[in-house]
Amino acid sequence: MFPSKRNRAFAAEWDSQDGILIAWPHAGTDWAYMLNEVTACYVEMARAILNDDERLVIVAPDAEDVRDALGADVDWQRIEIVELPTNDTWVRDYGPITIADGGNMKLADFTFNAWGMKFAADCDNLVSSRLAERHIFKQPLINYRDLVLEGGSIETDGNGTVMTTTCCLTAPNRNDTYTREQLETELLRRLGCLKMLWLDYGELTGDDTDGHIDTLARFAPGGVILYTGCDDTEDEHFEPLMKMEEQLKQFTDVDGNHYHLIKLPLPDALYDEISRLPATYANFLVTNHQVLVPIYGQPEKDVKACELIGQAFHGRKVVGIDCRALICQHGSLHCATMQLPQGSLSRQTSNQQEQ
């Protein structure tokens, strides 16, 4: 089903997709103080996804809020709203992780504990299982809740290699009873992969996730890694990102081949009232025919990042999405979405499902 030469593997994001899963912001989330601004961002994001040949699955406590925001001029035949309670909107970290297994597909449900029990997660941790109960998925949901794992903490080249960060996967309050070696063995087994690459440097200031890989380095087709760089020697990220770059140069795939590296610019520093925000262009989303790239109102760097990402995903249209609202809660575009590969969604459309 997937273009991997391995029999069983964690699916690459650029494999064919049925749709994208998102969770709609509402007054019960940390977005309450800026709900109009972030809703506008979600509308832009949703419309961009619908411009591709995909379905859009939206989790929300109130379907009417979504309908009112999106309006009547979208293709409602490709939108599925599922009314469920949520704590927050970072569905990348609590949505299902898709694994191909001998031509079949499985959706893995790991525990989400809000990045080491930093925030409430009682509703978010149940979203995948509740979606399965509503028959949204065509394939079975596998219970892997004895392990904590967030989707934003792992990347795959679709060919047997997983990339992650040491600072996240070994952080306290996730899987404390496992050594790094034990955790690697167990995750590779469950994800059906052969090799794990650990980045030891690069965590961005303001990142609540303890350094998710999707803020730092991302795989692209053909043995490519796009990564966050920094050329400003006065920036606090300069030294750790330089160390990360040197480590990336040493990484090889399962066949021993070095990756081709493409350095993305680091956005100029953005701040809230208290601290720096973890803005990054690496937090892009790949859809069937597009790459949606977070942009931050910095024309020169925004354009450069889009150009570089477009080179890595040749043939896909690059669409910039203004994520200045999203970054206010320390996340961005990839964090707010989860791809659902081809064959994972039920063909049934159930727009009117209620709680």
Band (8; pLDDT cuts 50, 70, 90) = low
Q: What is the pLDDT of residue 354?
A: 41
pLDDT reported for residue 4: 44
pLDDT one-digit tens code per residue, 17-56: 999 999 999 999 999 999 999 999 999 999 999 999 899 9
**Residue 90 located in a structural domain:** yes
352 lies in some domain:
no
Whether residue 2 is predicted with pLDDT greater than 80 in this model: the reply is no
**Residue 200 clears pLDDT 70, i.e. is over it:** yes
Residue 74: pLDDT band with limits 50, 70, 90? very high
Q: How many CB atoms lie within 10 A of CB 174?
A: 21
What pLDDT digit, counting tens, does each position of 149-189 carry? 999 999 999 999 999 999 999 999 999 999 999 999 999 99
Q: Does residue 9 carry a pLDDT above 90?
A: no
How many independent structural domains does the chain possess? 1
What does the pLDDT average to over 311-334?
A: 98
Would you call 36 exposed, middle or buried from its count of C-beta atoms within 10 A (0-12, 13-18, 19+)? exposed
In a domain, 350, yes or no: no
Question: Is the pLDDT reported for residue 5 higher than 60?
Answer: no
Residue 352 has pLDDT above 50, yes or no: no
Angle at 120 between CA 115 and CA 125, to 5 degrees: 70
Contact call for residues 302 and 280 (beta carbons, < 8 A)? no
List pLDDT tens digits, range 284-321: 999 999 999 999 999 999 999 999 999 999 999 999 99
Q: So what's the pLDDT on residue 105?
A: 83
In terms of C-beta density within 10 A (0-12 exposed, 13-18 middle, 19 or more buried), how is residue 177 classed? exposed
Q: What is the pLDDT of residue 313?
A: 98
CATH code for position 58: 3.75.10.10
Beta-strand runs (E) in the chain: 8-10, 17-23, 55-60, 79-83, 97-101, 104-111, 141-148, 155-156, 161-165, 195-199, 217-220, 224-228, 260-264, 285-286, 290-295, 317-322, 338-341
Q: Check pLDDT > 90 for residue 7.
A: no
Residues 337 and 67: their CA atoms lie apart, in Å, by: 19
| Residue 258 DSSP code | B
Given a cut of 80, whether residue 98 has pLDDT beyond it is: yes
Section 251-277 average pLDDT: 96
CB atoms closer than 10 angstroms to residue 260 = 12
Contact by Cβ (8 Å): 161, 122:
no
Write out the DSSP string of 286-351. E-SSEEEEEE-S-HHHHHHHHHHHHHHTTTSEEEEEE-TTGGGGT--TTTT-EEEETT-B-S---T
The 10s digit of each residue's pLDDT in 339-349 is 999 999 997 55
CA distance 330 to 24: 16
4-8, 182-186, 271-275, 299-303: least confidently modelled range: 4-8
More confident position, 1 or 101 = 101
Residue % of the chain over a pLDDT of 90: 90
3 inside domain: no
| 354 in any annotated domain | no
Whether 346 maps to a domain, the answer reads: no
At residue 6, the pLDDT reads 52
* Of residues 11, 335, 344, 312, the one with CA closest to residue 161: 11
pLDDT at position 162 is: 97
What is the token pair recorded at 215? 């803020």
Q: Within a domain: residue 41?
A: yes
- Is 237 among the domain residues? yes
Q: Which domain holds residue 86?
A: 8-341
Instruction: Give the model's pLDDT for residue 348.
Output: 57
Average pLDDT, the chain: 94
pLDDT in tens, 100-136: 876 678 899 999 999 999 999 999 999 999 999 999 9
